[in-house]
Chains A and B, each alone.
Chain A
Amino acid sequence: MIEQVAEPLQQSGFAKVILEIDVNNHPGVMSHICNLFARRAFNVEGILCMPVSDGKRSRIWLLVFEDQRLEQMVRQLEKLQDVLAVRRHSAGHEVFERLEDFFH
């Protein structure tokens, strides 16, 4: 059919946001989540994932740039069957700061 004529993608902002996501722990969860961001050309700056409690669940930390699509992205994330909760933190959160030593 016809080509889509749409507004160009907005540039993302410079403010960083940290998302803390509780998920079921099984192979494939990560690809569901990363696909969602990649498809929308939403750059994920940092990613960290470890199992929690008895290993049935994991916690994923994502570092992303603030963008007006972020709220929509969070709603999309919450729709995924394996996503149990999404929490937003400001860039002041220390989780990625404490990892910086490993990236020098």
Chain B
Amino acid sequence: MKQMTGAELIVRLLERQGVRTVAGIPGGAILPLYDALSGSTLIHHVLARHEQGAGFMAQGMARVSGVPAVCFASSGPGATNLVTAIADARLDSIPMVAITGQVPLSMIGTDAFQEVDIYGMTVPITKHNFLVRSVDELLEVIPAAFRIAMSGRPGPVLVDVPKDVQNQIVACEDFPPPATPDAPPALDMAAIAEAARLINEAEQPVLYLGGGVIHSGAAQQAVTLAEQAGLPTTMTLMALGAMPVDHPLSIGMLGMHAARHTNFVLEEADLLVCVGARFDDRAIGKAAQFCPKAKIVHIDVDPSELHKIRQAHVAINGDVARVLEALLPRVEVSLRKRWLSRVESLKSRFPVPWANQDDPRTHYGLVQAVAAALDDEAVIATDVGQHQMWVAQAYPFRRPRQWLTSGGLGTMGFGVPAAMGAALAERDRTVVCFSGDGSLMMNVQELATLAEEWLNVKIVLMNNNSLGLVYQQQNLFYGKRVFASKYRGAPDFVKIAEGFGIPAVDLDTAANPRGTLAQALHTPGPCLIHVSIDREQFVYPMVPPGAANTEMIGG
């Protein structure tokens, strides 16, 4: 018979689950758990400077590895500071377990010091959440949290543990086994056969890959399907890397900031094979006018995504890797010469504006110079805004989990802590975080954590001293009434980085910017690389709000 406190039990169960890094910040209501964590020889704790940073570090670990990652926060403001990172994980289907301290059971509901109903607050932004009311429940709740986070469509789970539950003594014969994912849904062979028939009969099919392909580890199967059936393939923001961007069948990212030819190819499709994507409004524009001539095959592990935005002709609920494996032997080999030559002609008629941009002090040139200095083993994270779209458009992604970005929630401040999480989980990789001056300031405090952990994270800061995407939209859609989008002050980011103890270089003043950039990227440890970007450079092409994807402006 083992006897221990609830806090010690949590730490043992995390260790047994394989958790080796936890990001968090202690506070009164979670001190028993931190006391127990101090005795762990297996788990490395990363002390963030803001709980949102801890949440995004956990996300970075989970996004790069596919395994649920853990963050800790105390009750009250500690817990509410996690909320944005949890919501972000929910919208991008990232497996994460957030453990929060709570005031003692008897004080819940009394407006006790640092009490908030984080359970109630996180109902709509978690895949599931728990308020643990007795220490015995932990034996079930902790493995269940991991099982839920990683099963089916992944997502965040919150476990709120009152301080007295952390201190209660629990006795158990054996620890529960570490959680494993639930079995995937049974294969719907009739629907799979019907999907194969539609693919074989289609004249102008397009494969549309979403983040589910990355989560399910189905990139290889998806590329095989494309090659076998001759399917031009587009990817959502979340799926970049599923097919190498220079693969002859890749037509790049679709949607609001897609290349013109991508959206025109989709317009002509007679069959759309949607794999692990959810017809998000940024990807498809006006839903009724998206792929207007196409029948739709929709494969998703989450049944509630099927028929949600567009009625599918064939809807298949299942793990996309397994469904694609079952689909492959039923799909005929096809060269599809006529359709693919049509796609090629659209590609050459509408060349992308980011090709052959060489000056590393321009936005596209900088993205390409970073890519040229690195190989495909590097991880590329971004913050949110213009720089994010420029990187999504121009960086040559070639493998799954190479690309970490906040897609669904679009959270500025995501980049630096998520990049740190990636570096914590895979220490031998170089991790680049493209950021903007607006985004960087939203979690700039994590530079202190970065300096402490001395992670191999390179922050490439595109500085236009404004909220660039807001500035762009005010110029394009609000009669050039620029308001609250240009900064009046201009902080010295090189000094800021150096003040946190992080080396920094400024490409603005470098005699050989390409050489300085390469040297900064190749020197182990953190670095901030500052580049001024012309504020008048906008993200093009762009589909205006509410328009169909074919009504692009610019580019």
Which A residues lie at the B interface, using CB under 8 A? Answer: 1-6, 27-28, 31-32, 35, 39, 71-72, 75-76, 78-81
A5 vs B304: C-alpha distance when bound (angstroms): 23
Q: Which residues of A contact B469 (CB under 8 A)?
A: 1
Closest residue of chain B to A34 (Cβ to Cβ) is B123
Residues in chain A near residue B410, CB distance under 8 A:
1
Partner of B304, one of A3, A4, A75: A75
Min CB distance B15 to A, Å, is 25
Chain B residue at minimal CB-CB distance from A5: B546
Nearest chain A residue, comparing its CB with the CB of B152: A79
Q: Which residue of A lies closest to B303 (CB)?
A: A75
Q: Are A79 and B303 in contact (CB under 8 A)?
A: yes
Interface assignment of B308: CB less than 8 Å from any CB of chain A: yes
Contacts of B264 in A (CB 8 A): none
Interface residues of B (CB under 8 A from A): 119-120, 123-124, 127-129, 131, 148, 281, 302-304, 306-308, 410, 469, 473, 477, 545-546
Q: Are B281 and A4 in contact (CB under 8 A)?
A: yes
Q: How far is the CB of B152 from chain A (nearest CB, A)?
A: 9
Q: B307: which A residues are within 8 A, CB to CB?
A: 71-72
User: Which B residues are CB-close (under 8 A) to A31?
Assistant: 120, 123
The CA of A39 and the CA of B123, in the complex, are separated in Å by 11
B304 near A35 with CB under 8 A, answer no
State the CA gap A69–B123 with chains docked (Å).
21
**Distance of B439 from chain A, by nearest CB (Å):** 13
Q: A32-B123, A72-B304, A75-B303 are in contact. Are A2 and B545 (CB under 8 A)?
A: yes
Cα A75 to Cα B305 in complex, Å, equals 9
Residue in chain A with minimal CB distance to B281: A4
Contacts of A4 in B (CB 8 A): 281, 545
Known contacts A2-B473, A28-B131, A79 near B545 by CB under 8 Å = no
Q: Are B545 and A3 in contact (CB under 8 A)?
A: yes
A residues less than 8 Å from B545 (CB atoms): 2-5
Cα separation A28 to B129 with both chains bound (whole Å) = 9
Please give me the residue from chain A that is nearest to B148 by CB atom. A81
- Roughly how many angstroms separate A92 CA and B419 CA in the complex, as a whole number? 57
Separation of A5 and B256 alpha carbons in the complex (Å): 14
Contact B546 A35 (CB under 8 A): no
Interface pairs (9), CB distance under 8 Å? A1-B473, A5-B546, A28-B119, A32-B123, A71-B307, A72-B304, A76-B304, A78-B304, A81-B127
Which of A32, A71, A81 has most chain B Cβ within 10 Å?
A81
- Complex Cα distance, B305 from A79, in Å, reads 11
CB distance from A101 to the nearest CB of B (A): 33
Closest Cβ–Cβ distance, residue A1 to chain B (whole Å): 6
**Please, how many angstroms separate the alpha-carbon atoms of A78 and B128 in the complex?**
13
A42 to chain B, nearest CB (A): 14
User: Is there contact, CB below 8 Å, between B148 and A35?
Assistant: no
Q: Which 7 A-B pairs have the closest CB atoms?
A: A5-B546, A75-B304, A2-B545, A81-B128, A35-B123, A76-B304, A5-B545
